[in-house]
Amino acid sequence: MERPCPPKRCRLLLVPCPYQGHINPMLQLATFLHQNGFSITIAHTFFNSLHPHRHPEFTFIRLNDNLPLDDVSSWDLGSVLLAVNNNCRASLEEAVAAMAGKTGEGSGEVMCIIHDELMYFCEAVASRFGVRSLVFRTTSAAACVSRCAILRLSAEGRLPVQKESLEEEVPNLDPLRFKDLPLSAVSDITKLTQIILNMYAINTSSAVIWNTMPWLEPSELNKIKAKFCQIPIFPIAPIHKISPTSSSSSLLKEDSTCLSWLDKQAPKSVIYVSLGSVALLTKGEVEEMGWGLVNSNQPFLWVVRPGSVRGSDAIELVLKEVEEKVGDRGCIVQWAPQKEVLGHGGVGGFWSHCGWNSTLESLSEGVPLLCRPFSGDQRVNARYVSCVWGVGLALEGELDRKEVEKGIRRVMVEEEGRKMKERAMDFKRRIEDSLKEDGSSSCSLKQLVDFIMRVTF
Ligand code: UDX
């Protein structure tokens, strides 16, 4: 999809949110835009700092986030986001001022800012310098609709949700129940509503780039367009398939030895288990997962991320016992090259927390899911995977080894799993169609390039 270079270089300043699930899609977008003739500068924080040497094609600048790096892992997501948005503004302004000196009238370059939806402070910086900006939404449209519902429920005095209402459906938000709302990532409702307002109420962006597809979330995108988004929306998913050659943007080192282990497994026999980059578990949950995997009799590849278990010293023993019990039937790593894993013929199911990237990566490879969401938009995605798209099964309630074993077998070997797999394969085909020359995502990307050229020159 490479296109001729613009006559004058346009420099795009991209600002990812400093979490793995946001860094990946932003760098994938950066790669696509670079391949289409744009110069790219990435502004990143000290917290979860990127690896510039892996991306020599981009220029990098550091934003002063002033976060206490040795302490920030104990903060909740809302506090980190509010601090990043408050603290990074000054250094982004400095960077834009310096760049504006080299760009603009009479120079070789013009500039435009593209920022993650959670880095909303960029809007004020763009406005101050008269620079165009576009927002990149890296979560689902359904997550956006449900966050807006939180504002409505908060105004109606219905938050926090009462225990007895958790199983009820939220009015006008079918198929979501109160317990599916993305409330838990930010424990304080006032902080949460402030972040949501900041994300959606600012109207100075020129357009929205969205890592979704119109056919995947038609009614959610239509609701958004009708209610509050008067600017163009470019649905370009799955962005990880658009620029597959980009170098890894993993913050943790990928352990590729699991690929040779996968080579030795029967086709579609392995359940891949990974709960993403931020979920935290208890030792008890790890035990239930481990013994459920053992008892399922299925081959498994299990990612246990460093720091993902509270008091992680205690789990070494659990993992050792599981490894001894299953021998070569199981493979446990700290971080996997997930996209390659999901694309490997040996993988037949994905036990996932349903982060939006993991969900799209799984659908793109036709792999059905066992859904175990933890927080934020993951619950919304999990509900869509199981109840709307029919490509997964929800593992609800307390983690229990019997339920884990049953869930794995339902997805991997039983008739309902076979049907989920068929539907997942259908999604894979539709995604491939979207990426063809005249497919919806390819067309949207072409329009995006033209749009940026039109509004910046
Ligand atoms: C966070 C939120 O939890 C999620 O709900 C939101 O949609 C994005 O930010 P995260 O936990 O990082 O997500 O999950 P996800 O969105 O799935 O992103 C994780 C990324 O890490 C994926 O691109 C995945 O391929 C990658 N990954 C994960 C690896 O490369 N290796 C692994 O072992 C696990």
Q: 429 lies in a domain?
A: no
Distance CA 213, CA 432 (A): 12
Q: Which residue is listed with tokens 């620029």?
A: 243
Distance CA 378, CA 397 (A): 15
Q: 367 lies in a domain?
A: yes
Of 287, 274, 271, 288, the C-alpha closest to 374 is 274
The list of the chain residues with pLDDT below 50 reads none
Q: How far is the CA of 357 from the centre of ligand 1 (A)?
A: 6
Q: Are 341 and 263 in contact (CB under 8 A)?
A: no
Distance CA 254, CA 333 (A): 9
Q: Is the CB of 379 under 6 A from ligand 1?
A: no
Same domain as 168, residue 29: yes
Tens digit of each residue's pLDDT (9 = 90 or more) over 413-435: 999 999 999 999 999 999 999 99
Same domain as 308, residue 240: no
pLDDT for 308 equals: 93
User: Hey, whose CA ends up nearest to atom 34 of ligand 1?
Assistant: 276
Q: Is the CB of 276 under 6 A from ligand 1?
A: yes
How far, CA to CA in Å, does 83 sit from each of 69, 192, 210? 12, 13, 25
Q: Is the CB of 339 under 6 A from ligand 1?
A: yes
User: Hey, whose CA ends up nearest to atom 1 of ligand 1?
Assistant: 21
Helix (H, G, I), strand (E, B) or coil at 242: helix
Q: 397 lies in a domain?
A: yes
Q: Is the CB of 28 under 6 A from ligand 1?
A: no
Sheet of 369-371, strands arranged across? 330-333, 300-303, 270-274, 347-352, 369-371, 392-394
pLDDT for 285 equals: 96
Q: 264 lies in a domain?
A: yes
What does the angle CA 55 – CA 60 – CA 66 come to, to the nearest 5 degrees? 130
Domain limits at 262? 256-413
Give the mutation target among 251, 357, 360, 364 for probing the ligand 1 site: most ligand atoms within 8 A of CB.
Answer: 357
Q: Is the CB of 24 under 6 A from ligand 1?
A: yes
Q: How far is the CA of 261 from the centre of ligand 1 (A)?
A: 22
Q: 72 lies in a domain?
A: yes
pLDDT for 98 equals: 87
Distance CA 292, CA 73 (A): 29
Please report which helix (H) or strand (E) contains residue 352, including its range: strand 347-352
pLDDT for 70 equals: 79
Distance CA 175, CA 192 (A): 22
Instruction: Give the orientation angle of helix 77-87 with respect to helix 121-129, to 10 degrees.
Output: 10
End-to-end Cα separation, the chain, in angstroms: 22
pLDDT for 167 equals: 95
pTM to 2 decimal places: 0.96
Q: Which atom of ligand 1 is nearest to the CA of 240?
A: 23
pLDDT for 2 equals: 54
CATH number where 226 lies: 3.40.50.2000
Q: 418 lies in a domain?
A: no
Tens digit of each residue's pLDDT (9 = 90 or more) over 282-301: 999 999 999 999 999 999 99
pLDDT for 246 equals: 61
Same domain as 158, residue 226: yes
User: Hey, whose CA ends up nearest to atom 18 of ligand 1?
Assistant: 21
Same domain as 367, residue 226: no
Same domain as 302, residue 201: no
pLDDT for 223 equals: 94
Distance CA 324, CA 317 (A): 11
pLDDT for 245 equals: 63
Q: Is the CB of 357 under 6 A from ligand 1?
A: yes
Q: How far is the CA of 100 from the centre of ligand 1 (A)?
A: 34
Same domain as 318, residue 405: yes
Report ipTM for this prediction.
0.98
Give the mutation target among 358, 381, 384 for probing the ligand 1 site: most ligand atoms within 8 A of CB.
Answer: 358
pLDDT for 5 equals: 55
Q: Is the CB of 117 under 6 A from ligand 1?
A: no
pLDDT for 72 equals: 85
Same domain as 391, residue 334: yes
The structural domain count of the chain equals 2
Strands, E assignment, 260-391: 270-274, 300-303, 330-333, 347-352, 369-371
pLDDT for 131 equals: 93
Rounded to the nearest 10°, the torsion over CA 434, 273, 23, 384 is 50
Rg for the chain, CA atoms, rounded: 22
pLDDT for 4 equals: 55
Q: Is the CB of 374 under 6 A from ligand 1?
A: no
SS3 content of the chain, % helix, strand, coil (to 5): 50, 15, 35
Same domain as 177, residue 153: yes
Q: Is the CB of 335 under 6 A from ligand 1?
A: yes
Same domain as 359, residue 387: yes
Same domain as 142, residue 102: yes
Same domain as 326, residue 397: yes
Rounded to the nearest 10°, the torsion over CA 403, 406, 409, 414 is -130
Distance CA 271, CA 256 (A): 17
User: Hey, whose CA ends up nearest to atom 2 of ligand 1?
Assistant: 355
Q: Which atom of ligand 1 is nearest to the CA of 139?
A: 7
The DSSP code for 132 is: E
Distance CA 312, CA 71 (A): 17
Q: 98 lies in a domain?
A: yes
Q: Which residue is listed with tokens 């994905």?
A: 350
Q: 342 lies in a domain?
A: yes
pLDDT for 395 equals: 98
Same domain as 267, residue 237: no
